[in-house]
Structure 1
């Protein structure tokens, strides 16, 4: 590599090629920058207090306006992945591309087509379109009573947590060293004793009479309270229960049998089981379920081209149907890239199938997207959706039962003789690829997967599932080191899709367990890693300094490492693949990141960094580097992970996210004192979770419908306040003296409730009751019809609706007389007072929910709780403060984290 002719410029650019940093950094460069921005000698803890999207405020930055322009796309709500395409649990499945969302559920829009050409404002800077991220409020981290600036408070909190991590790491290593020394001494004595046949070996016991177990790298870290030993559990289960006669004996035997069976499956008691390469000995399954064959459109439903209906070959018609069915998906059909890619694939299929035909059978070549009218196709699919929606419940139930019967054999497999649930046995149907963010391939046709593309993985002695009639599998393998059951390659990105076990299976659980145990293992080494990269931030070797800076950013700001991308892939980046335009420097110590991150979601963050890191980034961006040039040009993700593995086997950049989130939550949990109601305790948990999300930089954009959701919640609260006021008025109706006894203020109508609002609310209550009665009536009739019993007559519904009519009359009378009559059987003041108290509690709980929801709107609590915080810590909170685990984990998550729920108690520590 050619060296720079200027010692002050550690960059070279040869023949117009991309600028690359020189191998070494001249001392003169460091000294010059030290004078500009002197270091305080201490690394900044690394806190971002920016949340959400970006506004049009101009920033005082290190470069021209183009540095602040869009590096990607507008912020969009991240959609869930499709289980078929990413190997997630069948219960976690939700389409990333809205494939399964009924048309009737989607937003209706005009069927006017968008042009394939670029939009008029595509060249406009993103900063002129999106608002700037608001700063994190004190309420978001549960602290609003201090005069200390929030940034300083967050920095101090994080610094305290990192100091605790350093102390813990040293303590663990010291304990392990002492254990190793004792073990060595013990082995030496054993050898010496064995040389003398007459000298008996004396084994000393510890003071508490408990023999210390030998250390094992795979066993949870020291000073962690373990689950009960299997033998002890078994003994407790075998203890006779109180009771007499045969019944008690039978119950005990059943309990013992169930307990023994449970012991057999508690793989988390032996983490070493997941360390071997051989994952199974026997494996039997029934393959995959393919989507149904294409059903041609009715002859009356045609694509209109240049004002005339045309007929298409079935294969081309199917693709036209993909587009026509989603005309109401504005975000897609108004996207020029989506339309361009769709039309390219559509034309290619038309060319292969003989183009279109007019009513006389003449060939029509479709060449202009703007002349295509898919409205008839959309109307057909929309009507089909409406028919399905209007289908009687009994018929829907019958269809679902038939579908379940067909799929039943594929839902489970036999893995080492044990029945395990399969997570995603359905092959994804063909359609149009949506992607996320501004994916360059959005709109391309996802081709139908054929059996000839599918490879089956199964036991050698097992019966190979039969391929659909007339087809055969691509290959049958017996890879015992693999955990997939079937695989195929999709045509859009060339990625391999895998059929895996469900999230609650042993294999999936062991994978999660191993992930969090690896993060716990990092606890022993984090102080050394941080000291090393702090030292290497000043290295005169460019590669070392870039690596240290990258680890700092990954550790402090939760940046993903990033991987190299091909030209036809989405321009998504991570730390190691950041380019010149993705990083803007604002003196003295603010770095602005703006790029397309994972899943093509825009990542924007303003962070304060250590002065030395700021200087380094300035060096990495030094001229002649410009847009398109890499900042970390002497570092790759592979090199970074290889370096990290020197500290600990298996350590990669992504482990830092898990470690930092889990360690931060564990530290907060250790000092947490949660009291009060269940709702208050849940809020305490969410406050801690929110602080983790902020300290670890897990952010999200505010959902589009958030304002509406909050408005509905506030209306519910207001409705409860009105119900509370009416109940108080009933107390006066029962005993007029209560007004004087309790004071007029107790019975006053809230100021924000005028007569107009009251009447509107009363109408909504009456209508709500009508709908409830009607829905119940229809449901009962459907049940009668499914049982072959005569349905109830409309007169019965009319009779039932009289209750709602009576309520309307009651409200009308109250409004006229300004008095509320007591209702219920034998109403008394005490009963009404108890009802008021109950409503008050409901109001308080709902207010807590509203506050919690508002505080969480810009913080990715789900990301932290599900992916990065060790689920065992949530279980510890649940058991320590006696809060049902259902308040934190849904049914799907409880199945996924079953190993965590069953393996720890309230004294467990991360």
Structure 2
């Protein structure tokens, strides 16, 4: 690939700080070579350690001053997982806002999870060497780092071979198609007709190759098409249009929809977009669109007069608006990681004082003005305790309500929300992801976000823009309000949009993850990655060559491409650091984010996406190490850019010269999917092994992908407790298995001679002390179960208007626990176990023992899986980066139900992959 930069005077990407020279002279190159250590480099391509740099272990060879403080890491906040489209597409957002909107999306399971927690008992996170990697973790003399590097190198070598073969195949097919067209034209046959026949034939071939039917073998346009097929829209549009003309109330179409569904199945017919030909103009996302707007949070309810905020020990009177802000903080006193965070406190208090000033300030009960000056965390002048207790009492009361009351409340809420949960998209009923406007509260953010604690203001209808079809009835805003705007942009996929006040990001109401729009976006993302496999060898060869380029811009670009390809770094975008968190990616790395250790170790320490600390140590190619040292060469210092002659835009423009629409983020998807494909193909599946073992084989491959692609996470705080609990379950089943075998001797004592004494021995990890504790646990567990059942029975009787059972009934039921306790005492004394159940026989008891054995094996596999996953984010790879069709094909080959790999949510999200591939075991990435 020819260099994009041929001029010596390549302009600087960013002009702040000290700049790199435009060219690198041979003298400078030789001088840098001499300055580098002659130590032997280690294996490249893998992380060698997770955890903060210790001052006595690491030293930045180019650091201008030692002892410079590192950014303090913070643990990420626990958040719900949302399965969002990972394409980060700006399509559908207003043009002026699209770049801004990029930063609002949150990945469900970010692979830039915080790698180190400074407050985690002062311990470093586990080394990669402790990770369970199946066949890669055998104990021998070869270091694990070397094995992983060799594995990755072999996969990349296979990728290069595949790329050459794919390009040769494409060239051959193109040549054959060209010859056929010339022949048909020479026969004076109209050109349109054979083209149509070729298209239809290609569709069948495309389905076999890709798992999805296509209209032709031509390369797909690169824009993300959310549009339904023309034929489907044409059939559905008249009906939708007719309804739009007659509908007078926004919620009416939902009601009519349910009525029609009762009369026939046509409206519920599934839209199988993956079986449909591609629409020519995929910039048009919809032809008709109807929806009922958004759900606003309920209005604020004022505190009782007895519940007050206290300042300096005295209750204060507040206006409604400022009282609501006070409740935001007061209601979350239990969340100590937030309310005890100095940044959180500072931002909240600043906003609180602003609202106080706006509303006229605080007063005492006599009406005298109180000036609130200090937050004072050590001796809280602002005391939110009464507010917290009020909301806790309400929460506890809600939890304690009878199940029937909770169910009735949910049914009422569902009835109100039902009209907003679906829209009509080209006449089809499509589920909306989340139609709710975010409620007001305090912004929490992730990692070290500088705006944590800032007040998120209540969103009013006057801030919301509605996107809807021209002929559709506009949903009515809440009484007394109006929408900011109503537009009819059929190139956008969002239904409503507003701007939040904290970061200025735009929030959107979109379709659900299982919708055709989102499914097509996922499909395009993975197809883009599949196309990259045809060009990956040329790209890697070119950037490897340009690592030695004399032009600084080319050398910086090649080095960035190496880091993005090898270590799954995000490209990074420039930000307005005055208004946003100072997060960076590869292209925006600064001097202080990179530490170098001879001969080839590079340590990255920066805030990545969502303000999550990215800390990792890598062994890199020797030339890459040399380049990074050069990019940090004096007079550069802290605050200066490493890649000062490169931007993400320039990098992506260069990548698009290899392949239309190729950007840096495609490498993450390609590397994960290609690696997973290679590992799964190496598996030799024995159909006779249990399903649990097949699942573990898949998870082992997924784990290797996560490590090779750098999808790490911090070990969860509750991991050890969970593993201990699982270990107790396994030991409990082993004890149950031993008791079952002892029952065999009670039925037939001669079995000891037939089966041998070893068969009836107690497992080595079960000792007498543990057995006594376990027996007591089983007795207490039975007591708890009986008591809960008694309470539930009484609740039901009261609900039915019957008299509850007396306490003596509970005492009678609890006798079962006493009998069990007595039975265990007898068994411990006599060393014999009486056979249980109706008509126990040796055969029945042997069958029970075998079932327990199988359950024990499955639990032990789960335990090994969990231990291996403790520092690896499997979900990140499986949900966002591994082509779901690979999982579908493996499930078909291994004869494992897809439910074992994909939850209900993921099965809905990846329905296109499951149904397009089906049982076709020949599909390949």
Please tell me the TM-score bracket, short chain as reference. Answer: 0.7 to 0.9
Question: Aligned partners of 2:922 and 2:719: how far apart in 1?
Answer: 38
**Contact 2:734 2:856 (8 Å CA) reproduced:** yes
**Contact 2:214 2:277 (8 Å CA) reproduced:** no
- Deviation for aligned residue 1:461: 0.6
Q: What is the DSSP-based 3-state SS (H/G/I as helix, E as strand, rest coil) of the residue aligned with 2:491?
A: coil
Q: How does 1:258-269 map to 2 (within 5 A)?
A: 265-269=271-275
- Deviation for aligned residue 1:140: 2.3
Q: Which among 399, 421, 438 is matched to residue 389 of structure 1? A: 399
| Corresponding position of 1:194 | 188
RMSD: 3.5
Q: Which among 459, 467, 470 is matched to residue 457 of structure 1? A: 467
Question: Aligned partners of 2:396 and 2:544: how far apart in 1?
Answer: 62
**Contact 1:52 1:699 (8 Å CA) reproduced:** no
Question: Aligned partners of 2:323 and 2:691: how far apart in 1?
Answer: 56
Q: Does 1:738 align with 2:751?
A: yes
Q: Does 1:876 align with 2:889?
A: yes
Question: Aligned partners of 1:54 and 1:854: how far apart in 2?
Answer: 25
1:572-610, Cα deviation, whole Å (9 max, x unpaired): 110011000100111111111111111111111111111
Q: Which among 674, 677, 686 is matched to residue 699 of structure 2? A: 686
| Corresponding position of 1:906 | 921
Question: Aligned partners of 1:26 and 1:222: how far apart in 2?
Answer: 53
Q: How does 1:421-820 map to 2 (within 5 A)?
A: 421-566=431-576, 567-675=578-686, 676-783=689-796, 785-786=798-799, 794-820=807-833
**Contact 2:125 2:715 (8 Å CA) reproduced:** no
Q: Which among 320, 325, 328 is matched to residue 319 of structure 1? A: 325
| Corresponding position of 1:333 | 339
- Deviation for aligned residue 1:462: 0.5
| Corresponding position of 1:303 | 309
Question: Aligned partners of 1:126 and 1:821: how far apart in 2?
Answer: 52
| Corresponding position of 1:31 | 30
Structure 1's 794 and 702: CA in aligned 2 closer, same or farther, altered over 3 A? same
Question: Aligned partners of 1:174 and 1:404: how far apart in 2?
Answer: 57
Q: Does 1:362 align with 2:368?
A: yes
Question: Aligned partners of 2:705 and 2:85: how far apart in 1?
Answer: 30
Question: Aligned partners of 1:763 and 1:608: how far apart in 2?
Answer: 53
- Deviation for aligned residue 1:40: 13
1:41-79, Cα deviation, whole Å (9 max, x unpaired): 999762224346666762244145857852352344663
1:782-833, Cα deviation, whole Å (9 max, x unpaired): 4555556665555554444333332222223223333221110111222222
**Contact 1:487 1:498 (8 Å CA) reproduced:** yes
**Contact 1:54 1:131 (8 Å CA) reproduced:** no
Q: Does 1:162 align with 2:177?
A: no
Structure 2-normalised TM-score? 0.84
| Corresponding position of 1:171 | 165
Structure 1's 86 and 412: CA in aligned 2 closer, same or farther, altered over 3 A? farther
| Corresponding position of 2:46 | 47
Bigger CA drift: 673-682 or 809-818?
A: 809-818
Structure 1's 201 and 883: CA in aligned 2 closer, same or farther, altered over 3 A? closer
Q: Does 1:376 align with 2:386?
A: yes
Structure 1's 796 and 286: CA in aligned 2 closer, same or farther, altered over 3 A? farther
Question: Aligned partners of 1:768 and 1:645: how far apart in 2?
Answer: 63
Bigger CA drift: 865-874 or 797-806?
A: 797-806
Question: Aligned partners of 1:785 and 1:53: how far apart in 2?
Answer: 59
- Deviation for aligned residue 1:137: 4.0
Structure 1's 827 and 351: CA in aligned 2 closer, same or farther, altered over 3 A? same
Structure 1's 432 and 692: CA in aligned 2 closer, same or farther, altered over 3 A? same
- Deviation for aligned residue 1:781: 4.5
Structure 1's 804 and 202: CA in aligned 2 closer, same or farther, altered over 3 A? closer
- Deviation for aligned residue 1:767: 2.1
| Corresponding position of 1:20 | 19
- Deviation for aligned residue 1:23: 1.2
- Deviation for aligned residue 1:130: 5.7
- Deviation for aligned residue 1:702: 0.8
**Contact 1:51 1:136 (8 Å CA) reproduced:** no
Structure 1's 474 and 135: CA in aligned 2 closer, same or farther, altered over 3 A? same
- Deviation for aligned residue 1:314: 1.1
Q: What is the DSSP-based 3-state SS (H/G/I as helix, E as strand, rest coil) of the residue aligned with 2:178?
A: helix
- Deviation for aligned residue 1:857: 0.8
Q: What is the DSSP-based 3-state SS (H/G/I as helix, E as strand, rest coil) of the residue aligned with 1:651?
A: coil
Q: What is the DSSP-based 3-state SS (H/G/I as helix, E as strand, rest coil) of the residue aligned with 1:337?
A: helix
Question: Aligned partners of 2:77 and 2:440: how far apart in 1?
Answer: 24
Q: What is the DSSP-based 3-state SS (H/G/I as helix, E as strand, rest coil) of the residue aligned with 1:281?
A: coil
Bigger CA drift: 54-63 or 170-179?
A: 54-63
Question: Aligned partners of 2:264 and 2:681: how far apart in 1?
Answer: 35
- Deviation for aligned residue 1:479: 0.5
- Deviation for aligned residue 1:170: 1.2
Structure 1's 126 and 851: CA in aligned 2 closer, same or farther, altered over 3 A? closer
- Deviation for aligned residue 1:739: 3.0
Q: What is the DSSP-based 3-state SS (H/G/I as helix, E as strand, rest coil) of the residue aligned with 1:679?
A: helix
Q: What is the DSSP-based 3-state SS (H/G/I as helix, E as strand, rest coil) of the residue aligned with 1:564?
A: coil
Question: Aligned partners of 1:163 and 1:711: how far apart in 2?
Answer: 42
Q: Which among 820, 830, 836 is matched to residue 849 of structure 2? A: 836
**Contact 2:290 2:468 (8 Å CA) reproduced:** yes
Question: Aligned partners of 1:201 and 1:339: how far apart in 2?
Answer: 70
Structure 1's 39 and 612: CA in aligned 2 closer, same or farther, altered over 3 A? farther
Extract unaligned runs of 5+ from structure 1. Answer: 1-9, 89-94, 98-123, 205-209, 230-256
Q: What is the DSSP-based 3-state SS (H/G/I as helix, E as strand, rest coil) of the residue aligned with 1:456?
A: strand
- Deviation for aligned residue 1:180: 1.5
**Contact 2:514 2:909 (8 Å CA) reproduced:** yes
Q: What is the DSSP-based 3-state SS (H/G/I as helix, E as strand, rest coil) of the residue aligned with 2:47?
A: coil
Q: What is the DSSP-based 3-state SS (H/G/I as helix, E as strand, rest coil) of the residue aligned with 1:714?
A: helix
Question: Aligned partners of 1:422 and 1:225: how far apart in 2?
Answer: 27
| Corresponding position of 1:107 | none
**Contact 1:724 1:840 (8 Å CA) reproduced:** yes
- Deviation for aligned residue 1:495: 0.3
Q: What is the DSSP-based 3-state SS (H/G/I as helix, E as strand, rest coil) of the residue aligned with 1:436?
A: coil
Q: What is the DSSP-based 3-state SS (H/G/I as helix, E as strand, rest coil) of the residue aligned with 1:136?
A: helix
Question: Aligned partners of 1:313 and 1:84: how far apart in 2?
Answer: 39
- Deviation for aligned residue 1:225: 6.0
Structure 1's 855 and 537: CA in aligned 2 closer, same or farther, altered over 3 A? same
- Deviation for aligned residue 1:667: 1.0
Question: Aligned partners of 2:681 and 2:268: how far apart in 1?
Answer: 31
- Deviation for aligned residue 1:221: 9.5
Q: What is the DSSP-based 3-state SS (H/G/I as helix, E as strand, rest coil) of the residue aligned with 1:584?
A: strand
Extract unaligned runs of 5+ from structure 2. Answer: 1-9, 89-103, 107-116, 216-262
Q: Which among 341, 344, 349 is matched to residue 343 of structure 1? A: 349
Q: Does 1:414 align with 2:424?
A: yes
**Contact 1:73 1:602 (8 Å CA) reproduced:** yes
| Corresponding position of 1:74 | 74
